[in-house]
Amino acid sequence: MSVLKIVALFATLLHSLIEAEVIYNSSSAAKDDWWKYATYYQIYPRSFKDSDDDGMGDLKGITSKLQHLVNAGVTAAWLSPIFKSPGIDGGYDVSDFRDIDEKFGTMSDFEQLIKTAHELGLKIILDYVPNHTSDQHVWFQLSKNKTAGYEDYYIWKKSYNSTTPPNNWKQITQLNEILLSDKLLLLPFTLNIIRGNTRVLMSEGYTDINNTMKYYGNDTVDGAHFPFNFFIITQTSLNSTAKEIISAIKLWFQHMPSKCVANWVLGNHDRDRVATRLGLENVDGYNMLTAFLPGALVTYYGEEIGMENGEVTWEEGQDPGACNGLESDFNSESRDFERTPFHWDSSVNAGFSTGNKTWLPVSSKYKTNNLELQSKDGVKSHFHVYQDLMKLRKEDTLIYGNLNVEVLATYVLAFTRELDGNDTYVFIFNKGNYSTSVSLSSFKSLSGNVTVVLSSTNSSRNKGDTLSTASIIMDAHEAIIAKSRSNVSVCWNIYTILLIMVLLFRIS
């Protein structure tokens, strides 16, 4: 045996000494309450489904389409604000948290939505925005005229002169008191909603990791069930390497207080669509990535079919932030592009509305990308991948299992989820533009062959195909989830390897 061969063998053996990094240990409490492993589907009510031809989505529209959430396999719908609002800030300027805005319907439409959702086994979550009340909200009025008890609901500052408004009227200091006070928090709704189930509270804020973690609370101060994890959004982009993506994931686990539940958000109403931001061909890979991680998952409407940003002109713009700015900044500032109506089917207005005009234009891309086309039996589609992912998330391994991560190549990463006595699952994602050969040897729980359970839309692999863990050629943008039937630990420890080397030297 030549020296070269021995060096090569040595390199291979050395590589098998490298172990994938465990970044999350299994949690036996992962399934003791529904919210911990749920998938939350964010609905932007204006753009989901219009029931009355006025071109804007509404509650009856949502109710009529709840079956889609069941078909997709999600647990809960989170509705962006539907409360009474003068609409100066796109409905985020709430004037009464206890009433429904007429744009969306009535309280009885809302009660019907809840009833239908519960019949379908879905949960409903509302978007409560205490930091952004309307100046027409009674709290603001009471605070403004210094009614006792309300003085510090807002931070009041003297304006520079009598003609300019105070500069930070939006801040509310009594956040905790308001959140914990049922008399203020949606009293008419609560009785319908609780029914012995845990009500989940998530918090949203764009801040650094240390501040974000404070929203989990601690032994002395109550917090949210989880603060939204926007770090995959803010710390990764189209060109991110496998290492950068893994760092963004590790960031959360490294800072999360013990016994807390992680969560993963890929897109929302404030950020470009995933297909536009991270690449259309990577949509399945990213959906698989976030669904594969331990904890809760949040999906923005349309991401299950890989919608791209819509086309909206300055004249058609609706986002107050951008419309109050300069036309030249519209394309970079407006959030209208990720808020265009959902693509239900190939009919007029993508099946969103039968009105003559929609509040934001329906993207022309609906003709080639819509739910109806993606739902056809036998076609490989983003939606079918998403449905399979939701089924997979119900497996014990994906609920309780460890998470191990490894960079396999500059643009290829792999994770495993492992649980004693259960199948090990491995996720491999080549987000790069070139096909790349990789090995899974650093995952000690995988050995020999693994069986494909799910592959991205463009992958040539199919369910049931076997892959050798020693060498897999991953096509550009290909993503695969495979499983290893046995979870017997392979004793490739240092002694085994030394023994083999001794034998090899003897042979040569």
Ligand X SMILES: *[C@@H]1O[C@H](CO)[C@@H](O)[C@H](O)[C@H]1NC(C)=O
Q: Where do contacts with ligand X occur on this chain (CB under 6 A)?
A: 22-25, 53, 131, 138, 141-142, 145, 147, 160-161, 163-164, 170-171, 205, 208-210, 214, 218, 220-221, 237-239, 280-281, 355-356, 396, 400, 419, 421-422, 432-433, 448-449, 457-458, 466, 468
- Least distance (Å) from ligand X to the CB of residue 209? 5
Indicate the residue type of 358. Answer: T
- Give 75 or 469: the residue with its C-beta nearer to ligand X: 469
- Give 22 or 500: the residue with its C-beta nearer to ligand X: 22
- Least distance (Å) from ligand X to the CB of residue 306? 7
SS3 at position 31? coil
Helix ranges (H only) for 279-355 are 283-292, 320-323, 330-333
DSSP 161-215: STTSPPTTTT--S-HHHHHH-TTTS-HHHHHHH-TTSPPP-EE-----HHHHHHT
**Rounded to whole angstroms, how far apart are CA atoms 492 and 500?**
11
Task: Return the percent helix, strand and coil in the chain, to nearest 5.
Answer: 35, 15, 50
In the numeric block, which tokens belong to residue 76?
A: 């809960």
225 and 202 Cβ atoms separated by less than 8 Å: yes
- Give 12 or 471: the residue with its C-beta nearer to ligand X: 471
DSSP 431-479: -SSS-EEE--TT-TT--SEEEEEEE-TT-S--TT-EEETT-EEEPTT-E
- Least distance (Å) from ligand X to the CB of residue 92? 10
- Least distance (Å) from ligand X to the CB of residue 428? 15
- Give 63 or 404: the residue with its C-beta nearer to ligand X: 404
- Give 46 or 277: the residue with its C-beta nearer to ligand X: 277
**Rounded to whole angstroms, how far apart are CA atoms 27 and 402?**
8
- Give 147 or 181: the residue with its C-beta nearer to ligand X: 147
- Least distance (Å) from ligand X to the CB of residue 9? 21
- Least distance (Å) from ligand X to the CB of residue 43? 22
- Least distance (Å) from ligand X to the CB of residue 458? 4
Burial of 155 (0-12, 13-18, 19+ CB in 10 A): middle
Query: Rounded to 5 degrees, what angle do the CA atoms 497, 503, 505 make?
Result: 105
- Give 3 or 221: the residue with its C-beta nearer to ligand X: 221
294 and 263 Cβ atoms separated by less than 8 Å: no
